[in-house]
Amino acid sequence: MRKILVFVFIIAAAVSGCNFSTTSTSPESIPTLAATPIPFTPIPTLTPTLEPTLTPPAALGTIALDFVALLCNAKWMNGGQQLTVCPDINADHSGGYAVATDPSSEGLPVNMPVLLTIPAINSYSALFLRYPSYTVHSGDRFRAMLQCKSGAPCDVEYSLEYYDAKGKYQSPFLSWKFKSGDAPVNVDVDLNMLANQTIDFVLALRPNNDRPQDDVSLWIAPHIFRPAP
């Protein structure tokens, strides 16, 4: 028994003689990373535009028929008269009138072709522009943006019509109505139903009110688009 007590005493003395210590770390001593504020950059709002593009990249396709460029090659008519094509600005326009107009007056790019049309204000009404014969290819599309001139209290019907190879007038074909206060009409129509036919396209404008003099109407970049093969 005395030997056991002596052994315990030696072990206790050895432990007490060693300088063991523990170090506690308080939460306050843990290093923290200072947060660096990141400036907020608002994401810009994209505003969609209605500006049509007339000249597509060659890889996408070509303009096969430009209705503005060929205006003076068209035959002009109203409901009962043949009209003088591209008359002088001071001529009588009561039978109907069409002219390439300044796109900047409507806030459009300076190189954007715009056709201004006014229906007849005599007893015949309407306006028809018959273009030279054209052979429709598979994939051809009619494209344009339609609206009235800013501030014009118009109410009109735009139409794309045609004479077939036998000279028969095909109307109605495609039409779009527009009234002042409406959003512009974006047109992109597949013409495959006419593929391989040789026809004379007609741009037609008809008033829907009793004041055709107010129907100052715009065809913005009207053309036939042909996709690349």
pLDDT (tens digit, 9 = 90+) per residue, 170-216? Answer: 998 999 999 999 999 999 999 999 999 999 999 999 999 989 999 99
CA torsion sign, 64 to 69 to 75 to 79? Answer: positive
Domain enclosing residue 148, as ranges: 64-227
Q: Is residue 23 part of a domain?
A: no
Within-domain flag for 209: yes
Residue 141 lies inside a defined structural domain of this protein = yes
* φ, ψ for residue 213, nearest 5 deg: -65, -20
- Helices and strands of the chain, counted as H and E runs: 1, 13
Q: What is the pLDDT of residue 78?
A: 95
111 within a domain of the structure (yes/no)? yes
**CA 194 to CA 129: how far, in whole Å?**
19
- b/e map 61-81, b = 16+ CB within 10 Å: bebbbebbeebeebebbbbee
- pTM, entire model: 0.76
What is the CATH number for 199?
2.60.120.260
With respect to residue 53, please indicate whether it lies within any of the assigned structural domains: no
Closest CA to 130 of 201, 212, 181: 201
Tell me the per-residue pLDDT of 128-143, one tens digit each, with 9 for 90 and over.
Answer: 999 999 999 999 999 9
Q: Are 151 and 113 in contact (CB under 8 A)?
A: no
- Total tally of structural domains belonging to the chain: 1
Q: Is the pLDDT of residue 144 over 90?
A: yes
Q: Judge whether 52 lies within some domain.
A: no
pLDDT, position 202: 98
**Does any domain span residue 46?**
no
